[in-house]
Every structure is written in structure tokens, then in C-alpha cells.
């Protein structure tokens, strides 16, 4: 599954958004890839997320694959859009 989202101000809602995003991703068995500007990173990699640095206004494509891909996609989308 995949969906494009625009990142909201995650630093305003979360104390440590990079670590918290990785924690959300690690709750799922599915592979979760974030894509933007020809960069693809594993959402379960803290170093990858630090380099990716999702920030407000950034368009990110979330790609999930696995037995819980729908729930994983929803959780990452909710996190990035601060819902």
C-alpha cells in the first residue's frame, strides 16, 4: 500500500519526533519505507529517519508491505499529520 502525505509540524506535537516515529514504525511487522525527493528510507531505522528529517510542509510517500500494512500506513500517516 502507499499514500502521499504532507508532514505537519511534528516538533510541536512530539517531544522527540524522530525517536517517536521509529517507535511507531517498530510496532508493525510490515516493511515501512518513506520516500521524498528520490530518497527512500526504512522507517524503522533511527539513523535513516535522522538523515531523512521529515519536517513541516514536506511531501512524503509512505509505502507499506506486509501482513499489517494497512494499520502501519494509517499509524505513520496519523503521526506525520499530527492527527
pLDDT tens digits, one per residue of 13-68: 888 999 999 999 999 999 999 999 999 999 999 999 999 999 899 999 999 999 99
pTM, entire model? 0.94
- Whether 54 and 60 have beta carbons less than 8 Å apart is answered as yes
- Whether 9 and 55 have beta carbons less than 8 Å apart is answered as no
* Set 4, 14, 22, 27: catalytic member: 14
Residue 14 falls in the annotated catalytic set: yes
pLDDT at 18 (0 to 100): 94
- Compute the distance between CA of residue 23 and CA of residue 57 in angstroms, rounded to an integer: 22
CATH architecture, domain 2-80? 2-Layer Sandwich (3.30)
pLDDT at 13 (0 to 100): 86
- Compute the distance between CA of residue 45 and CA of residue 55 in angstroms, rounded to an integer: 17
Count of residues making up the chain = 83
Buried b / exposed e along 1-11 (16+ C-beta atoms within 10 A): eeeebebbebe
pLDDT at 76 (0 to 100): 97
Amino acid at each position: 500500500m502507499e499514500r502521499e502525505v504532507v508532514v505537519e509540524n511534528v516538533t510541536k506535537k512530539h517531544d522527540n519526533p524522530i525517536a517517536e516515529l521509529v517507535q511507531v514504525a517498530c510496532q508493525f511487522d510490515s516493511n515501512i519505507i518513506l520516500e521524498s525527493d528520490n530518497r527512500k528510507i526504512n522507517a524503522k531505522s533511527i539513523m535513516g529517519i535522522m538523515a531523512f528529517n521529515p519536517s513541516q510542509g514536506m511531501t512524503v510517500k509512505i509505502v507499506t508491505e506486509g501482513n499489517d500494512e494497512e494499520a502501519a500506513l494509517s499509524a505513520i500517516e496519523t503521526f506525520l499529520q499530527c492527527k
